[in-house]
Amino acid sequence: MTDDNNNPGQPPSAPSAPAGTPTWHEVAETQPYTVVPEAPPAIRPDDAMPCLVIVSGQQMGQIFPMRLNEYRIGRADDADFCVRDASISRYHALLYRNDTGDACIRDLGSTNGTFVNGKRVQDVRLVVGDRIQLGKATIFKLDFQSTTGEEIGAQLYEAGTRDPTTEVFNRRYFDQHLEGDFRLAIRHREALSVVILELDRIKEVNDAHGQLAGDQILKAVATLIKGRLRKEDILARLGGEEFGIVLQRITTEGALALANAIRTMIEETRLAHVGTPVPMTVSIGVATLTHPPGFSEASDLLAAADRAMYTAKQEGRNRVVVAPTAPPT
């Protein structure tokens, strides 16, 4: 099975469910490309720079400003513009400026092709309003933004993906990325772990010191956890005093080690509110996608971690529980 589109003249459609769990292979394209005719030069503001705006896909609303002369776009962690979409190649396309400063895009031998305004391309100059599709679900639009507009756009995107109290990601962002990372782990037969943790007895803090104290403790805990994570890990506040972590390519053993380190760190940290010590502990659940996969959906993996966390609470709090590798039947 390959992920190539059977009709090179049309953008790829959503894939049907694969039989088994095939590995995603990066293959060079051999199909013919459509040549897009030269377009008239774009009219741009004096202080503007070209940028790509994601108008469809998991990261919808995110803006990639083109400050330098070239950027690699792909799902690899070290891609200049990293897009979490399993149908995008690790290094899918190159966005660059030509000799006259115009924005151009070049396909880098991707599996699923690069499409501009519905036509498959190899290397083409872009104009304002062009819609660029990479993979099966992510669509960009080329635009020019002034420095002020770019800052406003970035602020709006951040506001839509962050929890205002703790400044980590919110539940919507977490769910979207877990879904994408789950599909990617299935295709590559890689481990994927989810950690769910909940602060113990935070209600007692709110009752004794007020809601503001509780919010300050939540933010302090979030900051502590962020300090233990890799750049590619996703930490989000799922609601109330509950946090979730998505760990790409981390096995049960690695996730358990991290969870225990977080539990110990929070227990041993001297948290305080206006000089008053506020002891805090956490209960943690861990679930891991293994192969062959015991979970068919990302939501099943998340539910398993959540059940493990509640088991930790029922067993006395301040502990880590690992979920079975398959959901209960």
Residue 267 a catalytic site member: no
Cα separation values, 231 from 210, 235, 254, 262, 305, Å: 34, 10, 16, 17, 22
Task: Please tell me whether residue 190 adopts helix, strand or coil conformation.
Answer: coil
Q: How many CA atoms lie within 13 A of 189 on its CB side?
A: 8
Work out the burial of residue 328: count CB atoms within 10 Å of its CB; fewer than 13 is exposed, 13-18 middle, 19 or more buried.
exposed
Amino acid at 233: D
Instruction: Classify 46 in phi/psi space as left (phi over 0), alpha (psi -120 to 50) or beta.
Output: alpha
Q: Which two tokens stand for residue 21?
A: 């769990």
Which of 241, 253, 267, 297 is labelled catalytic?
241
Question: Residues with Cβ < 8 Å from 53, sequence gap 6 or more?
Answer: 61, 62, 63, 64, 140, 141, 143, 153
Torsional sign, CA 174, 180, 182, 184:
negative
Q: Which residues are catalytic?
A: 241
